[in-house]
Amino acid sequence: MRNLRLFLFLSAIGLAALPAAAQSIKPDYHLRSTPENTVMFLSAEYPPVLKVKSGEIVEIDTICLFGLTNDNPKKFFVDNDIPLDSPIAKEMLAMKAWVMAQPASGTTMTGPIYIQGALPGDTLEVRILDVKSRSNFGVNTNGPGRGGIPDLVPRPYTKVVKLDLARNVAKFSPTIEVPLHQFQGRMAVAPVMARGKLPSGPPYPDIGGNFDNKHFGKGATIYFPVQVEGALFQTGDPHAVQGNGEVGQSALESSNTVTMQFILRKNMPIKRVEAETPTHYILMGMDKDLDVAAHDAVANTVEFLQNRKGLDFFDSLSLSSLAVDFEVTEIVDGTKGIHSMIAKSLFKDKSTAYWYRPDLAATAL
């Protein structure tokens, strides 16, 4: 606890990137991926499964059920030489049975987590301290009517890819290995009660959701505008790796354990979800029309440069055109995404250090 207080003090003054020797802090809580800790929609109606204080760290298990059919869920494990008595198989089968018993289905998310003191108008800062795969396989699916070439996919297709966790690669084929980059596809706070239960399939600019943004892995920080008391955060849709665009029906869906620190910001009002990494600020646009998503990403970037960096409108737009990369986040879902990558190296003011240092050997806490 003494180390945590020291970290929070250093964070407040912008010195939270501690030397490696001082970066070993155990999570305050571990939240397992069980039916009791699971929701499938974004809603303020769900009671929290955990209450934490600002600054506390939670290790969260998340699960993916890709590949498991409704009629014979066990067949997936038998066909892919995965022991039915393995911990991940037991967990997936138990979760699948729970999902099938629900009146309406969606993507499983662990939560919600209540952050004490969070009120509408506050900002919830979520630091991704670590993300690790907790199964040695991932699943990629494609099918007609989805993704970047929906008219060209002749039939449903599922590929199971084994993960070499010791070497941190996905063994796509005997001659192709893909470096793993684990991240959570879905992260969100709850909407106001009047919005009811929102499906977790699309992302929402003001609360988050299905971002499918590959940059939101270890070392990233996501900022959420709090909508309801406690914020009520949930996460799911664990990925082992994904390319920008997610041009097929899915990424390499797997099961992760993500370690997050929740920090409540009372004097940092924002209107939409924002993010940053050690090297970039990230602004997003999302819409069913990719052109509209691009428009919103540019507008949000220009606004960010005006409000946070003191540029006027014209210089903000000029810098966006000269030096900011706009990437396609994902196109597989009904709501598509464009995000901007604003390099921090553009700005000579280095007064605020970032909490995560990828050049250090240890985790940044």
Is the pLDDT reported for residue 4 higher than 70? no
Rounded distance, CA 262 to CA 97, Å? 31
Looking at 117-255, which runs of residues are DSSP E strands? 123-133, 137-142, 157-164, 169-173, 176-179, 183-188, 198-199, 203-204, 208-210, 221-225, 233-241, 252-253
What per-residue confidence (pLDDT) applies to 6? 42
The residue whose two tokens read 């869906």 is 253
pLDDT at 16: 45
Report yes or no: 341 and 329 within 8 Å, Cβ to Cβ: no
Instruction: Give the pLDDT of residue 353.
Output: 87
List Cα–Cα distances, 69 to 66, 96, 100, 108, 296, in angstroms: 8, 9, 10, 15, 38
What is residue 280's predicted lDDT score, i.e. its pLDDT?
A: 97
Q: Where are the domains of the chain?
A: 28-119+133-214+230-261
Please state which of the ranges 146-150, 151-155, 185-189 shows the lowest mean pLDDT. Answer: 146-150
pLDDT at 111 over 70: yes
pLDDT at 40 > cutoff 50: yes
How many percent of the chain have pLDDT more than 70?
91
pLDDT at 162 over 90: yes
Average pLDDT estimate for 328-339: 93
β-pair type (29-31, 41-42): unpaired
Whether residue 231 contacts residue 115, with contact meaning beta carbons closer than 8 Å, is answered with: yes
CA-nearest of 126, 109, 113, 128 to 235 is 109
pLDDT of residue 23: 53
Under CATH, to which class is 28-119+133-214+230-261 assigned? mainly beta
Give the CA distances from residue 36 to residues 48, 94, 109, 113, 338, in Å, rounded to whole numbers and listed in that order: 10, 11, 11, 13, 35
Q: Are 340 and 298 in contact (CB under 8 A)?
A: yes
Secondary structure of residue 169 in the 3-state scheme: strand
pLDDT for residue 147: 84
Task: Give the pLDDT mean for 34-44.
Answer: 97
Three-state secondary structure call for residue 165 = coil
Model confidence at 325, in pLDDT bands (50, 70, 90)? Answer: very high
Average confidence score pLDDT of the chain: 91
Window from 93-97, 147-151, 170-174 with minimum mean pLDDT: 147-151
- Tell me the pTM: 0.91
Q: Buried b vs exposed e over 240-267: b needs ≥16 C-beta within 10 Å?
A: bbbebbbebbbbbbbbbbbbbbbbbbee
Which tens digits make up the pLDDT trace of 243-278? Answer: 999 999 899 999 999 999 999 999 999 999 999 999
Residue 147 Rama label (left phi>0; alpha psi -120 to 50; beta): left
Give the Cα-Cα-Cα angle 86, 91, 95 (nearest 5 degrees). Answer: 150
Work out the average pLDDT over 321-326: 98
Rg over alpha carbons for the chain, rounded to the nearest Å, is 20
The predicted pLDDT at position 358 comes to 84
19-33, 150-164, 305-319, 347-361: least confidently modelled range: 19-33
Model pLDDT, residue 249: 87
Q: Positive or negative CA dihedral for 197, 199, 202, 208?
A: positive
